[in-house]
Structure 1
Amino acid sequence: MSRRKRLVVKVGSSLLANSDLLTPRFGFMQRLLEDIARLRADGYDVILCSSGAVALGMNLVGEKPETAGLSDKQAAAACGMPLLLNAYKQVAHEYGFEIAQILLTLGDFEDHRRFLNTKNTVHRLLESGIMPIVNENDTITTEEIKVGDNDRLAAKIAQMVEAKDFIILTGVDGLYDRNPSEEGAQLVEELQDVSEYLEATTGTSTLGTGGMLTKLQAANMAQNAGCTTYIANGEADRPLSSVLRKERACTKCIAHKEPASGWSNWLSDRLQMAGSLVLKDEAAARLDDGVAIKRDDIVSMDGDFTRGDVLHIYDGEGIERARGLTDFTSEETRILVNNLDIPAETLLGYKSRAEIIRPNNIVVLETRHLLWDAPSGVSAD
C-alpha cells in the first residue's frame, strides 16, 4: 500500500464558474492546481471532486441556472464538461502533472461490485501519478438515479480511498452557528457531532445543488471512515495547504478515533434510500444480538428494491435502527410477509430460510450516524 497521504478535495460550481458570465474562473483554478502541485510534491495523493460542468455549459444551450430544467442541465453538462476538463488539463500541465476524468452515477456507489470497480480505477490512476477528477455524470442522470450533490459524492470517494483528510472548498469560511447574515453569527471552528448544527444549514447557491446541510452530511460520512473534514473558503492564495497547516479560519470536523470497516461504511452511509422495513419492537430490540431479520419480524415495508439493495430498518416508533443488504426483491418480500402461514419454499419455488437480511449483512447504527426519517405511509400490502 502507498505510504503517501490521501487527500480528497471538493470544489463547488460557484468557485469554478463566474456567476454572471458563466465562464471558467482561471485565476481560481491556477491557485488551486498550483497548491495541489505543492501538496503532491509534499507526499499527498490528491483526488479532486469538481462541480462546474453544468454551469459552464449553460451559455451554449441558451439557458440560465435559475430557470433551467432537467433536460437543460443534462445538455449543459454535456457541453460544459469538455470546457471544464480542458481548463483543468491546461493548468495542470503548467504544474507538471496529468489528470483523468471519472464520471459516476448513483449506482456506482450503491452497487458494491461497481463501487469496487471504481475504487480499483482510482487506485490505478494514483499509482501512475495521475490526479483523478471525479464528478457525477450529469449528462445521463435523472432525479431517480442522481447522487444529488457533489459533497456526499466526494465523501464516498474519501471513504473509498481511505483518505486522511477531506477539504470542502466553498464561498464562506465554514459552518456558522446560525445563518451567517444574522447579527452575532459565530464561526464553528471545530466539532465532532455534526447533528448539533443541522438546523443552521438551510440555503444553497444559485449555481450549485448543495448547501451547508449536504456538507455536514458529507463530513459525517467521512468521520465514520476516520477522515477529518475541513469546510473552508476557497478564495485564498493557497486554498488547501493553508487549511492543512492551520493558517486560516475554517470548520474542522474531527474524524472518529475508531473508524468502521470499509464494508460497514458502504452499508451504513447511503446516498439514497432504496427501501425500508419497519420491525416489530421485539425484533428491533434483537438487532444488537446479531440475528437475522425474518419475514415474521416485519410490520410494514416501503420501496421497490432488488436483491442486493441496502434497506433502512426502523422500529415501531419510526426510529432508524440499522441498515442491511436484502436477499430478496420487494415483490418477493411482500409475498413472504403477507403469507406467513404458507412455507417460503411454496411461495418462492425454491428452498429458503426466508431471512430477509442475514446477520452479517446488517449494520446497527450508532449515535455517530445521521439517521434518516422513515417514509410515510409504509405498508407491506
Structure 2
Amino acid sequence: MTKPKTIVVKIGSALLANQELLTPRYGFLQRMMEDITHLRSEGWNVIVCSSGSVALGLRIIGETPESAGVSDKQAAAACGMPLLLNAYKQVGHEFGFEIAQVLLTLGDFEDHRRFLNTRNTVHRLLESGIMPIVNENDTITTEEIRVGDNDRLAAKVAQMVGATDFIILTGVDGLYDRNPDDPDAQFVAEVHDVNEYMDATKGKSTLGTGGMATKLQAANMAQEAGVTTWIAQGEVDRPLSRVLDGTGRATKVIPNPEPLSGWDSWIANRLQMAGSIVVSESVAANIANGDRAIRRSDVISADGDFTRGDVLHIYDNKGIERARGLSDFTSEELRVMINNPDTDAEQLLGYRTKGEIIRSNNLVALDTRHLLWDAPAALSEG
C-alpha cells in the first residue's frame, strides 16, 4: 500500500485577516479551501497551521496590533479563535469535509511524550478524513513559554507527521536576495543552504509575529527532517496546487539528502533553549567524528535552569554551537559535579551514576547546513 502524501500548509495572519477591519477574509478562505479539496481528491493529506486568532480578536477587545500587550493578545486570541474556526468550518462544509482544531504549546513539542501523543492525534484525524487545523494556544501562553511564530510551529508539525511537503503562504512570491522593495532584488528560485540568505530577511508584517527570517528558520528545520519547503504567494488562485505542479513561482528549499532520523530530528530542531554547556575543542571535535558521549569531566561551564530530559545546546570554547543532546541531569546536579571535580558523583548526588551528562545515542552533531544558535551571554562571558 502506497504511503499517503502529506502536506503541511502555514497561513499567515495577513492572508486571513483584513488588516484594517480585522475581520476574516472569506474570499481568500474560499480559494484556499477549494484548492485543498482538489488536493484531497488527488490523495493528499492536508494539515493547516493557521495564524489569525489574535488579529481577529483585537477589534472585539478594542485594541490594535500596535497597542496590544501580552494580556491583550491572550484575550484577543480567546475572542478570535471561535471566529477563525467558524470561518474554516463554514467554508469546509461547502466543500463537504470536516475540520478539527489542535491547540498546541511549546511543551507539546519539547516534551517527547507529549510530542508523540500529539502526532498520534493528528494521524487519527487524517485517517478519518478530517483536516487538522493547528494553532498555538495563544490564550494561555506567555512570551517565555510560547513557540513564538507559526512558521516554526508548522515546521515542527511537518517534522512530526513525516510530511513530504511544507508550504508557507505569504504576501510575496518567495525569497529575494535582498529586500524585495529594492529594484535590484533578485528572486531566489532554489535554496540549499539557508545561511546564505539570513542577512537579506529583515522586517515582518504588521499583523504577524515573524518575517522572512522565521520562514527560513522553519525551512531549515524542515529540510533537516527531509521535508521539501516552498515559500509562495497566497493571494492567487490555486495557491497550493500551482506550487506543487510547478505552474506558479515559489522558492523551493531543498531537503537534506541524508535527513536526520525522527529521534535525532526531535533533538536537533529546538524552538527554545532549555540550557547549554561548554566543552573543549577536542571534545567537540570527537563529537563531530562519531560515537562520543559527553562526560562530567568534559564540561567546562553550564547555563540555564534545566531538568533531566531537556535538550542542551553544546558549544566549544570559542562559542560555536557544535551539537545538541538530551541531558541525564538537572542543572543543579550538573553544577554540583562541575564545581566539585575531585569528589565522586555518587557521593555528591546520593545515587550511583556513570557521570555521562549526555549519552552518545542522545547526542546529535550539527552539520554546516544547520542554523546555529548564538551562545547565551552568561556562557560567553564565563
Per the shorter chain, which TM-score range? over 0.9
Counterpart of 1:43?
Answer: 43
- CA shift, 1:377, in A, is 2.2
Q: For 2:175, what is the secondary structure of its paired residue?
A: coil
Counterpart of 2:66?
Answer: 66
Q: For 1:96, what is the secondary structure of its paired residue?
A: coil
Q: Residues of 2 paired with 1:252 and 1:379: CA distance?
A: 36
Q: How many residues align?
A: 381
- CA shift, 1:281, in A, is 2.1
Counterpart of 2:206?
Answer: 206
Q: Residues of 2 paired with 1:294 and 1:330: CA distance?
A: 14
Is contact 2:319–2:380 with CA below 8 Å preserved after alignment?
A: no
- CA shift, 1:67, in A, is 1.3
CA displacement 1:20-62 (0-9 Å, x = unmatched): 0000000000000010000000110000000000000001111
Counterpart of 2:115?
Answer: 115
Are residue 140 (structure 1) and residue 122 (structure 2) matched? no
After TM superposition, list the pairs within 5 Å mapping 1:223-242 onto structure 2. Answer: 223-242=223-242
Q: For 1:9, what is the secondary structure of its paired residue?
A: strand
Is contact 2:10–2:168 with CA below 8 Å preserved after alignment?
A: yes
Are residue 87 (structure 1) and residue 87 (structure 2) matched? yes
Counterpart of 1:365?
Answer: 366
Q: Residues of 1 paired with 2:17 and 2:312: CA distance?
A: 38
1:19–1:380 distance in 2 versus 1, CA, 3 Å? closer
**Percent identity for Structure 1 against Structure 2:** 70
Counterpart of 2:345?
Answer: 344
Q: For 2:198, what is the secondary structure of its paired residue?
A: helix
Q: Residues of 2 paired with 1:235 and 1:124: CA distance?
A: 31
- CA shift, 1:379, in A, is 8.2
Q: For 1:373, what is the secondary structure of its paired residue?
A: coil
Q: For 2:77, what is the secondary structure of its paired residue?
A: helix
Runs of 4+ in 1 over 6 A off after TM superposition: none
CA displacement 1:348-369 (0-9 Å, x = unmatched): 0111111111111100111121
Counterpart of 2:167?
Answer: 167
Are residue 324 (structure 1) and residue 318 (structure 2) matched? no
Is contact 1:300–1:380 with CA below 8 Å preserved after alignment?
A: no
CA RMSD after TM alignment: 1.2
Q: Residues of 1 paired with 2:81 and 2:25: CA distance?
A: 15
Counterpart of 1:178?
Answer: 178
Q: Residues of 2 paired with 1:294 and 1:338: CA distance?
A: 14
Are residue 374 (structure 1) and residue 375 (structure 2) matched? yes
Q: For 1:296, what is the secondary structure of its paired residue?
A: helix
Q: Residues of 1 paired with 2:181 and 2:87: CA distance?
A: 34
Q: Residues of 1 paired with 2:381 and 2:129: CA distance?
A: 51
Are residue 259 (structure 1) and residue 259 (structure 2) matched? yes
Residue type at the aligned position of 1:72: D
CA displacement 1:155-193 (0-9 Å, x = unmatched): 010011111111000001111000011121111111111
Are residue 77 (structure 1) and residue 77 (structure 2) matched? yes
Counterpart of 2:191?
Answer: 191
Q: Residues of 1 paired with 2:184 and 2:111: CA distance?
A: 45
Unpaired runs of 5+ residues, structure 1, are: none
Q: For 1:247, what is the secondary structure of its paired residue?
A: coil
Residue type at the aligned position of 1:341: D
Is contact 1:300–1:379 with CA below 8 Å preserved after alignment?
A: no
> Under a length normalisation based on structure 1, what TM-score does the superposition of the two structures give?
0.98
- CA shift, 1:380, in A, is 11
Q: Residues of 2 paired with 1:379 and 1:165: CA distance?
A: 38
CA displacement 1:111-155 (0-9 Å, x = unmatched): 000000000000000000000000100000011111000000000
Residue type at the aligned position of 1:280: S
Counterpart of 2:158?
Answer: 158
Q: For 2:187, what is the secondary structure of its paired residue?
A: coil
CA displacement 1:254-308 (0-9 Å, x = unmatched): 1122211100100001011111000022222221231211111111111000100
Residue type at the aligned position of 1:242: R
Residue type at the aligned position of 2:191: L
Are residue 18 (structure 1) and residue 54 (structure 2) matched? no
Q: Which region of structure 1 is more displaced relative to structure 2, 218-227 or 5-14?
A: 218-227
Q: For 1:324, what is the secondary structure of its paired residue?
A: strand
Counterpart of 1:310?
Answer: 311
Residue type at the aligned position of 2:68: A
Q: Residues of 1 paired with 2:143 and 2:332: CA distance?
A: 23
After TM superposition, list the pairs within 5 Å mapping 1:220-299 onto structure 2. Answer: 220-287=220-287, 288-299=289-300
CA displacement 1:300-325 (0-9 Å, x = unmatched): 11100010000000001111110000
Q: Residues of 1 paired with 2:157 and 2:281: CA distance?
A: 36
Q: For 2:378, what is the secondary structure of its paired residue?
A: coil
Q: For 2:144, what is the secondary structure of its paired residue?
A: helix
Q: Residues of 1 paired with 2:2 and 2:25: CA distance?
A: 33
Is contact 2:156–2:221 with CA below 8 Å preserved after alignment?
A: yes
Residue type at the aligned position of 1:263: W
Q: Residues of 2 paired with 1:295 and 1:376: CA distance?
A: 23
Is contact 1:338–1:380 with CA below 8 Å preserved after alignment?
A: no
Q: For 2:101, what is the secondary structure of its paired residue?
A: strand
- CA shift, 1:221, in A, is 0.9
Q: Residues of 1 paired with 2:298 and 2:51: CA distance?
A: 43
